[in-house]
Amino acid sequence: MTIRDYPTTEPGAVPDPEVAAMLAVLDAGFPDVAAMSAADARAAIFARRAAPQRLPDLPSVDDVIIDGPGGALTVRVYRPHADGPPRPVIVFAHGGGFVFCDLDSHDEFCRSMAVGVGAVVVAVDYRLAPEHPGPAAHDDMLAAVRWAAEHIATYGGDPARIALAGDSAGGNLAATVALAVRDGNPPVAAQILLYPVIDDDFDTESYRRFGTGHYNTTRAMRWYWQQYAPHGTDDVRLVPTRAETLAGVAPAVVVTAELDPPCSAGDAYAARLEADGVPVRHRRYDGLFHGFLTIPSLAATQSARTEIWAMIRETLGLD
């Protein structure tokens, strides 16, 4: 069964004043990454970030080094409860165009998700492109999921209730790994795709309408894909729509943002999941833009997070 819960605002409506002001600042100030080297783009993005506040406070947050396919791989384990019964687990891949961001860039989001859902969150510091082109990031995410299945009980997590999650490029990794483990090795209870970068089709309606002037641009998206997939995107480990069928993958929560160039692809992926018999909860946020969930100062973000935590809880059988 698919649950689509679209807002009542008309598509293309002017965002509320707070959102419009934030979007204008982001659009004017975000670096033109497509004109930079990957190293310079990372430095420019890092310079814009505030120091992590390590909030909300949690009983424990542990950086753990595990064996990854490319060597040592760091995961950060967030525990929302000091004791009690085993909690569901969310293995999370951060966004950043496959090129930048890290555990600290999404620390507040992971903490808030752990609290809001009541889950143990495992954030993955996967290898970045172009130094490590795809499917390196996919392989790291898969390794982290398999580590969680074997070891997360030590951290109060339930290995029988593991969800995959990611925002933007991380949503791509969650979707591709969901395909890789649909044989049940390991079993996965859900996939949570937050404005996911599903494919490299730049001719969709949302790319045509919102490819400029809305912070995330078509120019930048083309560059990200060039860094991540320099030899093409025919591999299902890079683009989940390359799969002949999506049947048998984990139930999905798909969140998209109207003003985001990849929005149409995310909406279409939710529809294809449904067509292939996968239970889906799909929510498109009209009037909002790519990356809004990691801007906690926005009132719209706090409202959306509350709704999304509830969808995740329902999908994991917590409500």
**Catalytic site positions:** 168
Q: What is the pLDDT of residues 145-188, one digit of tens each?
A: 999 999 999 999 999 999 999 999 999 999 999 999 999 999 99
Q: List, in sequence order, every beta strand (DSSP E) within the chain.
A: 2-4, 60-68, 71-79, 87-93, 120-124, 157-167, 190-194, 252-257, 280-285
Q: Rg of the chain over CA atoms, in angstroms? A: 18
Q: Mean pLDDT, to the nearest integer, of 256-265?
A: 98
For residues 79-106, average pLDDT: 96
Q: What are the CA-CA distances from residue 55 to residues 107, 163, 237 (Å)? A: 8, 23, 34
Phi, then psi, of 119 in degrees rounded to 5: -125, 155
**Cβ neighbours, 10 Å, residue 313:** 16
Phi-psi region of 260 (alpha: psi -120 to 50; beta: other; left: phi over 0): beta
Task: Flag whether pLDDT at 4 surpasses 80.
Answer: no
51, 199, 222, 260 from 229: Cα distances, Å: 31, 11, 10, 21
Q: What is the DSSP string of 159-193?
A: EEEEEEEEETHHHHHHHHHHHHTTT-SS---EEEE
What is residue 81's predicted lDDT score, i.e. its pLDDT?
87
Please give the pLDDT value at position 73: 98
Residue 42 has pLDDT above 80, yes or no: yes
The pLDDT value recorded for residue 9 is 44
Asked whether the whole model's pTM tops 0.85, one would answer yes
Query: What 8-state DSSP symbol labels residue 139?
Result: H
Tens digit of each residue's pLDDT (9 = 90 or more) over 295-316: 999 999 999 999 999 999 999 9
Class of the CATH domain delimited by 17-316: alpha beta
Phi, psi of 137 (to 5 degrees): -65, -40
Helix and strand totals (H; E) in the chain: 9, 9
Residues 6+ apart with CB under 8 A from 66: 72, 73, 74, 75, 143, 144, 147, 151
Count of residues in the chain: 319
Q: Which of 319, 272, 308, 283 is nearest to 113 (CA)?
A: 308
Q: Angle 169-180/136-151 helices, nearest 10 degrees? A: 60
Average pLDDT, stretch 188-200? 98
**Per residue in 216-259, pLDDT tens?**
999 999 999 999 999 999 999 999 999 999 999 999 999 999 99
Average pLDDT, the chain: 95
Query: Please, are residues 169 and 92 in contact by the beta-carbon 8 Å criterion?
Result: no
Q: How far is CA 145 from CA 183, 221, 297, in A?
A: 14, 27, 31
pLDDT at position 14: 56
